[in-house]
Amino acid sequence: MGASDVLSRKTGVIVGDDVRKLFKYCQEKKFAIPAVNMTSSSTVVSALEAARDSKSPLILQVSQGGAAYFAGKGVGNSKQEASIGGAVAAAHYIRSIAPYYNIPVVLHTDHCAKKLLPWLDGMLDADEAYFKLHGEPLFSSHMIDLSEEEKDWNISTTAKYLQRAAPMSQWLEMEIGITGGEEDGVNNEDVDNNSLYTQPEDIYEIYSTLSKISPYFSIAAGFGNVHGVYSPGNVKLHPELLSKHQNYVKEKIETSDPKPVFLVFHGGSGSSKQEFSEAISNGVVKVNLDTDLQYAYLTGIRDYILKNKDYLMTQVGNPEGPGKPNKKFYDPRVWVREGEKTMTTRVKEALQDFDAAGQL
Ligand SMILES: [Zn+2]
């Protein structure tokens, strides 16, 4: 018995109720799936390779900035056209390539703050067009992040977007409370510590509003998380708060399900294995992974360049002779591949840390 057994589509991009079934399976078996931020076909295949080798499901996500990068930095983005086009291109690429890796993949988009909503609107247009042709949305899920805004507006606007996603059985992740740090231009570094922790009443308000529209949603709640890497000890994580959220909602709706809420862990860079385990046992099904992977990707390329410096300064000529060609050293398939290998290794570590390895 593994996660594949609960899915109607076992390889490639999964959508609709398969996403819910996969996340429920995560909660039952107490593991979470890393959501890898991808910026290129190279980072996509690095993550896919890690998940395939580890026999794990995978979430691939693209941020607004990452999507624009996918389109190319030379493309203008004043109306989010690069972010929309890049995300759509990434989605088609992943839909084409993922089945070759024989694992289920959730295709997701990352933080979308208020000022970026035209990006989400554009992707939903693409989802609806794809739905007309294929009976399913292009993306498995999206994230809307109005946690910077006033709470009522956050919840009511999130509800509107869920209404648009619901006919396609598309998942929506939302955020409440404040995750510290800086990501895609949103800077919360000097926020007062108390607002870093979401209250159970807020979780219930979100749950009761959204569950009337669709069962396909998850909540990124603040429990002291910080985006990016900071010196340890500055922020205290309280993953035990997440069990209070589950219990509060469970009692309010009188369910026998001990984990009625699908939770998401943002800002996990630098967290301990124990902190991840506690969050996961309290119903976290997705952990965002970005900062550590950026560094991992660099290390392979960095070490390759430093080690082979004398073979990279000219196209011809190296320590073995002035006429020796260096083509096999500067071919991008050689040095970019070194970054892919170190990124794959780091994704595999995360799959182990979140107990996702071997779950298929
Ligand atoms: Zn967040």
* Residue 288 annotated as part of some ligand binding site: yes
| pLDDT at 338 > cutoff 80 | yes
Over residues 249-272, mean pLDDT = 93
Instruction: Give percent of the chain above pLDDT 70.
Output: 92
Over residues 270-288, mean pLDDT = 93
Burial class (CB in 10 A: 0-12, 13-18, 19+), 2: middle
Q: Report the pLDDT value the prediction gives residue 134, as an integer from 0 to 100.
A: 98
| pLDDT at 336 > cutoff 70 | yes
* Residue 111 annotated as part of some ligand binding site: yes
| pLDDT at 272 > cutoff 80 | yes
Q: Report the pLDDT value the prediction gives residue 65, as an integer from 0 to 100.
A: 98
* Residue 156 annotated as part of some ligand binding site: no
Output the CA 266–ligand 1 centroid distance in Å: 5
- How long, in residues, is the chain? 360
Q: Report the pLDDT value the prediction gives residue 227, as an integer from 0 to 100.
A: 66
Provide the pLDDT confidence category of residue 177 given band limits of 50, 70 and 90: confident
| pLDDT at 251 > cutoff 80 | yes
Q: Looking at the annotation, which residues are catalytic?
A: 110
Report the C-alpha gap between 39 and 61 in whole angstroms: 9
Q: Report the pLDDT value the prediction gives residue 223, as an integer from 0 to 100.
A: 87
* Residue 48 annotated as part of some ligand binding site: no
Over residues 344-356, mean pLDDT = 97
Classified as helix, coil or strand, 276 is helix
Provide the pLDDT confidence category of residue 168 given band limits of 50, 70 and 90: very high
Provide the pLDDT confidence category of residue 179 given band limits of 50, 70 and 90: low
Over residues 196-214, mean pLDDT = 94
**Listed residues: CB within 5 A of ion ligand 1:** 175, 179, 266
* Residue 210 annotated as part of some ligand binding site: no
Output the CA 144–ligand 1 centroid distance in Å: 10
Output the CA 148–ligand 1 centroid distance in Å: 10
* Residue 194 annotated as part of some ligand binding site: no
- All residues at 6 or more sequence positions from 210 whose CB lies less than 8 Å from its CB, including other chains: 155, 158, 159, 162, 172, 174, 217
- Note whether 157 and 146 are within 8 A (CB): yes
* Residue 289 annotated as part of some ligand binding site: yes
| pLDDT at 181 > cutoff 80 | no
Output the CA 92–ligand 1 centroid distance in Å: 25
Over residues 65-92, mean pLDDT = 98
Number of alpha helices (DSSP H) and beta strands (DSSP E) in the chain = 12, 14
Query: For the chain, what is the mean pLDDT?
Result: 93
Provide the pLDDT confidence category of residue 327 given band limits of 50, 70 and 90: very high
* Residue 145 annotated as part of some ligand binding site: yes
Output the CA 342–ligand 1 centroid distance in Å: 25
Output the CA 113–ligand 1 centroid distance in Å: 10
Output the CA 82–ligand 1 centroid distance in Å: 22
Over residues 214-227, mean pLDDT = 89
Output the CA 63–ligand 1 centroid distance in Å: 11
Strand (E) positions, 145-199? 171-176, 180-183, 186-187
Output the CA 90–ligand 1 centroid distance in Å: 21
Over residues 159-165, mean pLDDT = 98
* Residue 53 annotated as part of some ligand binding site: no
Report the C-alpha gap between 283 and 110 in whole angstroms: 20
